[in-house]
Amino acid sequence: MFTGIIEALGTITTIDSHGQDGARLCVRARLAGDGRPPVALGDSVAVNGVCLTAVAMPQRGDAVEIAFDVSHETMARTGLGVLQRGDRVNIERALRLGDRLGGHWVTGHVDGLGTLEAIEARATSTDLRYAVPAALEPEVVEKGSIAIDGVSLTVNEVWPGGLRVTIIPHTAQATQLLDGGRGKRVHLETDILAKHIRRLSAFAGANVAVTGTGVDLDLLRRAGFA
């Protein structure tokens, strides 16, 4: 589990493709160790919002190089396959018990790919507009949370097929959200709560159709929720 608060910008050092069987991805990054190794074998690390498992860590000076085996499934469902040597990636290690939850609950399981359509610089911030797959639209809510390339962001505006977020200069500097410019493909992960509500609502609707019972506004009122 992650929070969407990026710890470091890593750099792709190598990508060894295994054809249809996936690839091995190596990322170099500086991560605080707090007196312990910054990453251990088997740890979960979010790379551009994709949860991967550290399988090797050759030390390179004052930075750590982390190797990840990326499955064919992950390659097919994410944009990791288009990364090239030298590209910057957002890095976040998994939460530890007692850590601050500064963003929102992020699982590292990408729901779909979006496209950066517009960048609008303002005096003290930058607006980013993204195209969103139609299948994810019901899970995107104005003033709700979304993870874009692993970055926890607030949705400021939604419309059919798109959304707008705003980033401050710190976020622009600490992440790679502005790398690549217009047309850049990004990983989208919607709020886990929205996904569960959508799924439960679908079952409730089916239950109503079959039995005439289920969750509706009247039931919520009687239960004290509305």
- Does 89 lie in the same domain as 131? no
Tell me, yes or no, whether 124 lies in a domain. Answer: yes
pTM: 0.87
162 vs 128: CA distance, rounded Å: 11
138 three-state secondary structure: helix
Tell me, yes or no, whether 156 lies in a domain. Answer: yes
Tell me, yes or no, whether 226 lies in a domain. Answer: no
In the chain (226 residues long), the average pLDDT of successive 10-residue segments reads: 95 90 93 76 96 86 87 94 96 90 93 98 97 96 97 97 98 97 97 86 60 61 65
As for how many domains the chain has, the answer is: 2
Tell me, yes or no, whether 216 lies in a domain. Answer: no
Torsion region of 213: left, alpha or beta (phi above 0 gives left; psi -120 to 50 gives alpha): beta
- Does 56 lie in the same domain as 116? no
Q: Which amino acid is at 66?
A: I
Give rounded-to-5 percent helix, strand, coil for the chain. 20, 40, 40
Domain span at residue 59? 8-93
- Does 159 lie in the same domain as 85? no
- For residue 171 the two structure tokens come to 């976020």
